[in-house]
Structure 1
Amino acid sequence: MKVGYEEKTYEIYFNNELDSRSSMYFPPGQVLEGLLGFDAAANSRNRNLWRIFGHPFWFWPHFSGVNLFDIAEELEVEIETFTNRIPQINANLLLQYKRPVFITTSSGGEWHHWNEPYYRYSIDKDQHDLLNKIEESFGNQALVLYASPAIRSLDELVSAKQNKEIIEKSNFQKPSGLGNHRKNTYTQAGMYSIACSEPEELKNFNLISELERLDGSHNFSNTQFVINTSQIIEEVMASSTSYKKLISEYAELKKFKLIYSFLIMKVFRETTGIQWSLSIKA
């Protein structure tokens, strides 16, 4: 049976809790989109954006926005200033959320591993290969994880949200830990999983502690770290037709390295569903 809530609801609750509980977590896409409005790349109607640049929009009865290309130079400076005000970036956090099904009968294909009700999610081969490639490409400068709830119902999800237990009630797995399996199963949070083959017990996983432990050990400025991250992602996504089509819409902005880097990460999220966040120094 499917769990009684949407994956997006879990994702939102998860992100909100991570933001409230950890000073090591920073979601650059969410903050920059809200502050600068650059997500609407063609003709932004974000009045706060134009206020920053002193654009005289107040006299226009039907403000239609201004083309991003017309203010890209000023926007590049603004984003760079904002990015370098963030505490030093340690590493990337890349999360792939998975809504599981809850297996309650012995007819479930993996029941013999557990002999009790369990959670299961499918692993898409193309997506999994991509995550493995990302994990390998970043090395110790990224934490790449599947995140899936050990929560059955919407009521239980809401209670977990209210009690700030979403993270504690999530099961995490690194792509490399799942090998070539196409399903992953678990009965509880942490990292105890059976990937539909040989049972394997893995240690419990504390995401907050792991963020505090992360140390990318680099000497880059925040700006250069973001640019380097986007370059790695662009190389990883080079074979994706959808990605190439979407990023081509911003080809004229390539000369603005930081804007283009954030647009790469925006398109990466749109085409993969993988959330990009940053681990920073407290």
Structure 2
Amino acid sequence: MRSLRNGRPARRPRSSGQGSGGRDSGASAPAGSCWLFGTHAVAAALANPERQCERLWVTEAEHPAVQEAVQAGAVLHVEAEIVPRSRLDDMLGPDAVHQGVALLARQLVSPALEDALERPGPVLVLDQVTDPRNVGAILRSAAAFGAACLVVQDRNAPEETAVLAKAASGALESVPIVREVNLSRALEILQKAGCWTVGLDAGGSVLNGRTFEGRRVALVLGAEGRGLRRLTRERCDEIAGLYMPGEMESLNVSVAAAVGLYELTRLGMPSA
């Protein structure tokens, strides 16, 4: 993707002095970089030409996926360093399921929204969803259902971390995250680009993919508990909810995103 379009440069990733990593406190990494772990996340990062990889640590385990990561690193001239499993445990935390592989990589550059919209498919917009596991799971669903991109408000969304990448299971490398300062402005850009913005929230009609045939939809989701903020809700073209005939009144935001994307894309399913 181009780094500049319509005078709006792509943003560099946010960086902190401590870096970002597997634990909430962040494993030690240079500013602008983060440690990724797990076979899917690491293999996808090594296969992404946009990703700058710096160090590859693996244990002596003979897991086939670890060996594939080592081979991919060799192609990119990132030499694998054999380390004890305890070193990965200490760096990433005891709860990190690293599967014997970790990669130090530069954080991805956030593209301009206009560039991301050149990709086909629906768009997902998150209104202050801050849990990295939820965002990672949403990215995974976005990749599964062919979404063009994920749009977030820069100051109220998680940074790129190992936890997010692990939950995304490789989708962080294939679905661009567009970070916007002003979410209302982002919705305006989407509308001018021909997207019909649908806020997924209670109080509207039931989301029905058939009503959007021939339209490109941007599905807007709010944080758990609070839902969509008032200004975001008012900015959407319409509000719709999910059909839920059971006893539960709400879903986890990542599950709601998956169900919403399925509803929007199911009409394209091949006939039996």
Pick the structure with more strand per residue.
2
Structure 1 and Structure 2 fold alike (TM over 0.5) = no
The structure with more helix, counted as a fraction of residues: 1
What is the TM-score when the length of structure 2 is the normalising length? 0.26
User: Greater Rg, structure 1 or structure 2?
Assistant: 1
TM-score between both structures, scaled by the size of structure 1: 0.25
